Chain A
Amino acid sequence: MFSWFANPHRFLTLSSWLAPICYALGALLIAWGLWQGLWIVPKDEYQGGDIMRVMFLHVPAAWLAMASYMGMAVMSFIWFIWRHEVADIAAKAIAPLGATWTALCLVTGSIWGKPTWGTWWQWDDARMMSVLFMFFLFLGYMALRGAMDTRQKAARAGAILAMVGAINVPLIKFSVDLFTSLHQDASVITVDGPKMAAVYLWPLLASGLGHSLLFAGLVMTLMQAEIWQRRAAQIRARLIAGD
């Protein structure tokens, strides 16, 4: 199955129509989610009044921060085992975007935390720390790739680091969980089904799906750019060689 996607040409044909669809659908869903979230839904006094509307950005960002790290690790694994170049291109494309959404999650969380908890940053909150360390993992991954002198070495070093990071994430999560948590408990995905009122749930889900589609579209565009760059480098090398 992976091999079918491993062909860069097939990827370019697929992404040439899939990426615009992702952008269009993502923009629609984010717009509807934000419009609902910012103007239509009633504010929740318990969560700090109007400031809780930042949730429609914060929760999708948190979801994407986690999903993108897992995506990067899975792509690294596929590249490491089967050496499919497209998987490495995907891992490389995910890193800066994942770091961006992780930073967005941290910033919106701080903005939400200040009026409701009375603090920008709380060191004994498990989730804030996990997300911060995930941000560092992304930065380390990008710095390591940037420091390698060839593309192959960058791919190998990056894959090793992403996999080591991925198996450490549960341990990091568990260790910071030992501290008492001040963060509210999970309220969308629980055993008994969503605890959240439907009026918030639907805009939130739309926003989350919209951000995911936007993210997927951006990943595909970055991957296309990388593939074209590699082809350009090949053509340049051939011209210099005088073929």
Chain B
Amino acid sequence: MSAAPIISAFRQALTEAWAGGAGALMPLGFFAGAAVLVPLGIGTDPNTLRAVGPGILWVALALASLVTLERIFQADVEDGALDLWLQTGAPASMIAAAKAFAHWLTAGLPLAILSPVFAVMFQAKADTSLLTHMGLYALGGLAFFFWGGVGAALSATVRRGGLLISLIALPLYVPTAIFGALAMSGGPGSTGAPLFLAASTLFALAVAPFAMGAALRLAAD
């Protein structure tokens, strides 16, 4: 077994994110859209915005991951790239993990890095906590992309599988969303929450690749 197919899958995912209509900017637009529409929808009271801001960004991050995931494995099934990778004997789970990680790099991490800008738009105080929050968004986003990848891999052969991915991924997103929101709430239970968030992300990194791999082998049949 060589690492070549895994690296190839990783690089292909990175390049296709930037090729053809700047796919990586799409979730960013989605994120920005949510951030702009929410104050218009729920009113502009600074206290309300400060209270709901972190939660809105978590929801926008989760939804942005779902928007990008629909196509991540489908294209490889259709153009035969998946068959070629699997023929080399490379573990399907590692290929899937490389692709999910690449998508997090191109669509999840930029959102986390930009989160302080949106947080300030939601009237958050501009201090170092925004950097901590950036780290939490990055960490939680990783779990979103891996669990979402399970849904995407399972529905890779299904045309218009978007709804299916959402339905599959929604319950799997719950722990991350809860721990993430708790960690930023500052309320009771918020001190241990970042550790729980990290633990649930590690759990996703450990379990999701095997589920994605099994699903990809099914899609390649």
Contact = CB atoms under 8 A, between A and B. Distances in A.
Nearest to B171: A133
Main secondary structure of the interface of A (DSSP, over half): helix
A8 interface: no
Interface string B165-187: 00110111011001100100000
Interface in B143-181: 150, 154-155, 157-158, 161, 163-164, 167-168, 170-172, 174-175, 178-179
Contacts of A129: 174
B218 A137 contact: no
Interface of B: 150, 154-155, 157-158, 161, 163-164, 167-168, 170-172, 174-175, 178-179, 182, 189, 193, 196, 200, 203, 207-208, 211, 214-215, 218, 221
Given A140-B171, A156-B218, A160-B215, A171 B200 contact: yes
A4 to B, nearest CB: 27
Interface of A: 129, 133-134, 136-137, 139-140, 143-144, 147-149, 153, 156-157, 160-161, 163-165, 167-168, 171-172, 174-176, 178-179
Contacts of A157: 154, 215, 218
Nearest to B172: A168
A202 B150 CA distance: 44
A144 to B, nearest CB: 6
B172 A164 contact: yes
B164 A175 contact: no
B164 A147 contact: yes
B189 A178 contact: yes
A231 B174 CA distance: 41
Interface centre among B168, B200, B214 (most CB of A within 10 A): B168
A174 B175 CA distance: 8
A178 B176 CA distance: 13
A70 B193 CA distance: 28
B190 to A, nearest CB: 10
Contacts of B196: 175, 178
Given A147-B155, A147-B161, A157-B215, A172 B171 contact: yes
A153 B156 CA distance: 12
16 contacts: A129-B174, A133-B171, A133-B174, A136-B171, A137-B171, A144-B164, A144-B168, A147-B164, A157-B154, A163-B211, A168-B175, A171-B200, A174-B175, A175-B196, A178-B193, A179-B178
